[in-house]
Amino acid sequence: MTSVAERGAVPQPAGDADGVHRLAPGTELLGEYRDSAYEEPKFLVQRSDGQAMQLPRLLYQVACSLDGRRDDEIAAVLSRESGADLTADEVAFLIEERLRPVGVVAPDRTAPDDPQDRAADIPLPVRSDLLLALRYRVGVIPAEVVWRIAGLFQPLFRRPVWTLLLAAFVAVDAWILLRGDLVDRMVAGLGEMGRRPGLLLVILGLTVLSGVLHEFGHVGACRYGGARPGDIGVGLYLVWPAFYSTVTDSYRLDRVGRLRTDLGGLYIDAIFMAGLGLVHLHTGEPWLLLALLGMHVEAAWQLLPSLRLDGYYILGDLVGVPDLFSYVKPALLSVLPGRPTHPAVRELKPRARRIIVLWVVAVVPTLLFWLAFFAVALPRLLPAAWQALLNYLQVVDRAARDGNIVTTVLGVTELLFLLLPWAGGVMALWMLVDVVGRRLADRSGLARLRPDTRAAVRRLASLAGLVTVGALLLVRVVHTASSRPATPDETTLTDSALAEVRGHDGDFAPGWRDWLLREQLVLFARGTGAFDRHATVVAGAREIAVLACAVLVVCLVALVGMRRLPPLAVGVPLVAILAMGPAVTMLATVGSGTVGVAWAAVGVLLVACTRRRGVAAVGTVAIAVGAATEPLLAVPLAAAIAVLLLARTGHPAGRHETPGHAAADHRGPRDLWRRIAASASSDRAGHARHAESTSAPGNPRRWLAVAVVLPLGAGAATLGAAAAGSPLDGSERMVLLLTATVVVLGGLVLRSLWPLRPFAAAAGSATVLAVLPWPASGDALALAVVTSGLLAVLMTAAFLRRPVANRPHPLHRAAVAVPAALLILAGTLFLPVAAPVPPHAALASWISAPDGPTGTVAVPAGLWGDLVRNGVPPSRLVRAGTDADADWTVVVGAPGPGTQPAATFAGGGTALTVEMSARARSEAIARARADQRAEVAARDQEAVQEQLVVLQAEQDAARRSLGGLLAERPGFVGSPHVLGALRDGSVDMRVLVVLASLTHEYAVTVADVPVAVGDDPALPRRHLLITSLGYAPVARPEVVAALTQRLTAWAPGIAPSEVTPGPEGVLVAWPPGA
């Protein structure tokens, strides 16, 4: 409540004595503030916005006299009633310097015609700036609905009813206490909640329901006393969420009525707790006892008078002072030694003065203690809360993706409570900055600046804040683009562009609808070197997606800079997109949807915001490029044009435009785009226009144009339809689609937003394309996200530009805002998926090494581009999944148990394992078996050779032994050369056997054991030259015949092959030995 006092200033003439003044519309004179603690009575005045003010008697009498009478007439009447001698100038001074600044006096009808000058001359009505008040709040239930709800609770405040219900509450509590075993039952309740986490949600729901009923109790008591309650809403009080109800009108009641209003919430709490206690007594559920205990503690907390809770207002109404905190400074100054009593304290009655001083002495140290405690603890609490927030985000993200609803909801609740200290700290800091800023402005003279200058400063500050939000969005998009795993479509597009940039031939075949996007990516990569700046090639390709996002943000900021959109209208949707992980993921993904919309946004901005033909032509080309990049863009454009044409059907030429303007309005596409943009910023009354358009019979030519436009858009979308994967899973897609649906329905249903129907139709058609089960739903989802975000911007702008009276009904606003806020909150739970970079550089080094593997290597699609960038020839690589055979295969992941990979790089989920292909493995097995057989044969041959060596040694020893015996035999005669050969074992065993047989019967003379022609001299000699047999020379024929007969009688293996007589003797030859 605001207090307006009479200052002891010398009145100055404020204008003509014949001035006429009236009360501001909606101002209500409530009369005397009854049962107050003031020595002099105070009087209450309530403005149309619900702000109540205290006025002294004279000012209240002046306010009561503002009924169109002149100042001199008011002065005469007041002089007779009060006994004071008032002049017209003094009355004019009180009106202009005391009542007009607080918004009680209607604006002067003789104000200047210039709106800016009029705004500068009329001060804004002051509002109360209460200490520790609920500043950050939003109304949910409007006053009209609250009035009906209060009527439902009104019978509960009759004396017999509340006496009986309070007695029942006391009886139920006593019954629960008398049953005993409270501690055991509470421990059992804790155990049950541990086993069934869903009970926490039930208790949370009961707590919220109790809070809502608490506020219903306040408004019911307010209406029962004769006052009119206002709206009910929610807010953030310090660092905790709180419900509130507006019962300012209860100040018109007496003390009993005000106390009834203060206690009405606790009374309904008691009824609710009595009912819950009966349920506990009937079912015996121990967790209900914990819920009851929490509600009793909450009710006791409400009675504390140190904060602006029910106890604070109860004490204030008992004392008779509406705002106790306004007496903190006066009371402290009054208790200081040597200081006189402050005038604000002196105007109170003695009893109230003592109570307020005691209250201040008790409350101020308590508040200072808690302030010091939070100041010391906050540096430790905030980092702990931040770390817990990050941990909970991971947990909730996994639970949301797994479909665990209970864990997800509990995680969201815990996240809210973890965020509250941050939010409270930021808001407290903002209030402190606001207070310090106002003090500095007052001292530096900034407060005396012209309203238009202050508005320009505020606009620059809001534009700077909007740029900051856009920069934060881009930072998050960049971070997501550099860390999230690539989709198959991104990989195919990026590899195709890299192959073209490096001049390689590839078997990549992106569809014709992606050809233009690939060419743009190729031009971008060649001009910026994007493929070489990041850890992966896909991250470099995503720079074009980041650029498209930056273009969209710059277009929105440009519209704000050109005063086409309010900064807040752009900032709110940008913050929502920034918070939603799935939306950020879509913007960070390389796709024709985002890039095409960016081109179209630039084109529409150029065409709609300029009248130069050259710039408009460039804009039209940009729109065409966007539609060619993403053919699905033709559907939203066709839907917007069709709705715009139908909405304009049947307008009379002279209703809103002259015939000349009407003719100029259809000259070409340039004007059509300008009309679409104008519908977004139009502030004309949409109700009358819609009524005219729907009641008119329609223009057949426009219906024909619609019949041509829609099939063209559908045909372009059908031709451009191709399989496009989505980077999101089912839950993330569902959140984005539901959010887009809520925004579209709001744009289509709310009557005050009907001028935005072309944009709603565009966003709705894109959303429908994203919902349909067809190949192009992935690209359509990107269109739905961008178009619904643009629609949200325009809806917010239209809402902010309209007067409060012309805005949608609060329930209608809540029907759109509440589901959208819940879906945005759900979207914040889905964190963008991050994937570490695999060690592709080490793999590339291994493949390219001189001693590396030979042949081709099959690699996953996501590694092809990285390996080519790292220097591996494309001819050595084969993309996995193709029909080409490869000698080696690269698998992402650690090798399984029992496998023997050829090489492994790094470990964990990013490990790269190299394995042989099936064909190479079979060939290697065949080679191994052949090598094994060859090895076995070599070993066998070696064994044979060893056996031969042993046998040869044995034969050599046998030859030497037999030769030595033969050389010593008396019947054998030989030259020393022959005897040496016999003793050395140099004579073939067959020769020795035959000689031994001959010498056994005859005396044999051997002239020589020559080496056969062609034999190795190291081999045993197989030729023998005999010169005599039985002391007879072999020259005699009978000797030769006898020798021949004896030699050929041997077995074939020992018998000589040749017996040749000669002049020197008989030459006996044996065949070569085995």
pLDDT digits (tens, 9 = 90+) for 784-818: 888 898 889 888 888 888 776 677 776 777 788 87
Range of the structural domain that residue 847 is part of: 840-916
Last residue of a domain, one of 98, 121, 144: 121
**Residues 820 and 890 both lie in one domain:** no
Helix (H, G, I), strand (E, B) or coil at 233: strand
**Residues 824 and 844 both lie in one domain:** no
Give the separation between CA 385 and CA 523, rounded to whole angstroms.
46
Per-residue pLDDT, 164: 95
Pairing of strands 2-3, 1058-1061: unpaired
Give the separation between CA 859 and CA 853, rounded to whole angstroms.
14
Give the separation between CA 591 and CA 596, rounded to whole angstroms.
9
Per-residue pLDDT, 694: 40
Query: Residue 268, CB half-sphere, CA atoms under 13 Å: how many?
Result: 25
Per-residue pLDDT, 435: 67
Tokens of 135: 């500043």
**Residues 817 and 860 both lie in one domain:** no
Contact 310, 265 (CB under 8 A): yes
Higher pLDDT, 37 or 407: 37
Across the chain, what does the average pLDDT equal? 79
Tokens of 158: 């009759």
Q: What does residue 32 show for φ and ψ, rounded to 5 degrees?
A: -75, 140
Backbone CA torsion sign across 160, 166, 169, 173? negative
31's enclosing H/E stretch is strand 28-32
pLDDT mean over 375-403: 71
Identify the top-confidence range among 81-85, 361-365, 424-428. Answer: 361-365
pLDDT mean over 476-485: 89
**Residues 42 and 77 both lie in one domain:** yes
Per-residue pLDDT, 17: 41
Q: 638: Cβ–Cβ under 8 A, 6 or more apart, which residues?
A: 709, 710, 712, 713, 714, 765
In what order do the strands lie in the sheet containing 232-237? 136-141, 232-237, 240-245
**Residues 560 and 647 both lie in one domain:** yes
Q: 549: Cβ–Cβ under 8 A, 6 or more apart, which residues?
A: 473, 474, 477, 587, 588, 594, 598
Closest CA to 204 of 412, 362, 6, 361: 412
Per-residue pLDDT, 659: 34
387's enclosing H/E stretch is helix 350-402
Band (pLDDT 50/70/90 cuts) for residue 746 is confident
Give the separation between CA 811 and CA 903, rounded to whole angstroms.
65
Q: 606: Cβ–Cβ under 8 A, 6 or more apart, which residues?
A: 615, 616, 618, 619, 622
Per-residue pLDDT, 823: 82
Per-residue pLDDT, 221: 94
Tokens of 679: 């519908």
Backbone CA torsion sign across 289, 295, 298, 302? negative
**Residues 749 and 849 both lie in one domain:** no
Q: Considering the domain boundaries, does residue 407 fall inside one?
A: no
State the residue for tokens 């973890």: 418
Q: Considering the domain boundaries, does residue 181 fall inside one?
A: yes
Pairing of strands 2-3, 52-55: parallel
Tokens of 931: 């090598």
Contact 385, 422 (CB under 8 A): yes
Q: Considering the domain boundaries, does residue 940 fall inside one?
A: no
Single pTM value for the model: 0.65
State the residue for tokens 């104000």: 111
Q: Considering the domain boundaries, does residue 997 fall inside one?
A: yes
Contact 532, 526 (CB under 8 A): no
Last residue of a domain, one of 68, 103, 121: 121
State the residue for tokens 């004396």: 159
**Residues 193 and 223 both lie in one domain:** yes
Least confident of 723-727, 953-957, 1067-1071: 723-727
Contact 484, 727 (CB under 8 A): yes
Q: At what angle do helices 861-869 and 840-848 cross, to 10 degrees?
A: 70
- Tally the domains of the chain: 5
Q: Considering the domain boundaries, does residue 353 fall inside one?
A: no
Last residue of a domain, one of 916, 948, 974: 916
Which amino acid is present at 1066? V
Query: Residue 936, CB half-sphere, CA atoms under 13 Å: how many?
Result: 5
Answer whether residue 277 shows pLDDT above 50: yes
Least confident of 83-92, 101-110, 595-604, 619-628: 101-110
Contact 799, 820 (CB under 8 A): no
Q: Considering the domain boundaries, does residue 114 fall inside one?
A: yes
Closest CA to 315 of 259, 251, 248: 259
Give the separation between CA 756 and CA 744, rounded to whole angstroms.
10
Answer whether residue 779 shows pLDDT above 80: no
Long-range pairs, 1018-1022, Cβ under 8 A, ≥24: 1019/1073, 1020/959, 1020/985, 1020/986, 1020/987, 1020/988, 1020/989, 1020/991, 1020/1073, 1021/981, 1021/986, 1021/987, 1021/988, 1021/991, 1022/988, 1022/990, 1022/991, 1022/1069, 1022/1070, 1022/1071, 1022/1072, 1022/1073
**Residues 637 and 753 both lie in one domain:** yes
**Residues 193 and 315 both lie in one domain:** yes
414's enclosing H/E stretch is helix 405-444
Q: Considering the domain boundaries, does residue 593 fall inside one?
A: yes
**Residues 844 and 816 both lie in one domain:** no
Give the separation between CA 614 and CA 624, rounded to whole angstroms.
15
Per-residue pLDDT, 818: 79
Least confident of 147-161, 249-263, 332-346, 495-509: 495-509
**Residues 1005 and 1064 both lie in one domain:** yes
Q: Considering the domain boundaries, does residue 25 fall inside one?
A: yes
Give the separation between CA 453 and CA 444, rounded to whole angstroms.
15
**Residues 545 and 563 both lie in one domain:** yes
Per-residue pLDDT, 219: 94
State the residue for tokens 């609710």: 272
Q: 284: Cβ–Cβ under 8 A, 6 or more apart, which residues?
A: none
Q: What does residue 1050 show for φ and ψ, rounded to 5 degrees?
A: -75, 160
Contact 611, 761 (CB under 8 A): no
Per-residue pLDDT, 916: 76
